[in-house]
Amino acid sequence: MREIVFDTETTGLDPKTGDRMVEIGCIEMVNLVPTGESYHAYFNPERDMPAGAEAVHGLSAAFLSDKPLFRDHAAELLDFMGDSPLVAHNAGFDFGFLNAELTLIDREPVCTSRMVDTVALARKRHPGAKLSLDALCSRYGIDRSHRVKHGALLDAELLAQVYVELRGGRQIGLELAAEASATETVPAIQTSAVRKAPVGPRREPRAHRPSEAELARHREFMAGIENPLWS
């Protein structure tokens, strides 16, 4: 299953009052595993950058002044997203800005039926807990030390890791393996090809205890393992 985890940075909180999207970052995942494919772009919002917004993401009006307009890259962005489900943290916010930009250039908005909101998932999994991206990274032990300011691609990368944990974490791999083995077809044994072993004299079973030398080598080997999981 292909999914796109994405995040946006904006000039403010509400596209209805003239705020614009200035950055988007997307991470492609297939069966909850990042494929290494991503999409990232900055956009010139054609307006000023409020100091409060710049303090969050560090993107100034001067930095964005020579960046392309959203309309210039809308087609390649939509092509990357395809028809996959779109995962975002507080997804209504990101969908609102993405669809506002699409509306401004007379393009069809993205259907909200494709929306997967990790805040809603986290609320069900951890009722009463803090639900910010930082809080969820701390809960799941995800390193965010390099996150000095918000950034769309960086936040999408962190969110992709959080999303895997919200969907079951490492247990997902076990479930997929179980499903794969359940669907495998076991070839029938062709009885005509089975050969019977010749019958010979019965022999007493051999002893398979390790020798003292083998035990000593084993102890030496085990002592050389750093930070073993069983300690």
Distance (Å, whole) CA 87 – CA 120: 11
C-beta neighbour count of 185 within 10 angstroms: 5
Distance (Å, whole) CA 208 – CA 57: 66
Are 208 and 214 spatial neighbours (Cβ–Cβ below 8 Å)? no
Beta bridge partners of 33: 30
Distance (Å, whole) CA 142 – CA 147: 11
Residues designated as active site: 150
Cα torsion angle, 154, 157, 161, 163, sign? positive
Are 57 and 148 spatial neighbours (Cβ–Cβ below 8 Å)? no
Q: Output helix, strand, coil percentages for the chain, rounded to the nearest 5.
A: 45, 15, 40
Give the residue ranges of DSSP H helices in the chain.
51-57, 61-64, 70-81, 91-104, 118-125, 133-139, 152-166, 171-183, 212-223
Distance (Å, whole) CA 14 – CA 29: 29
Instruction: Please count the CA atoms within 13 angstroms of the CA of 199 that sit on its side-chain side.
Output: 0
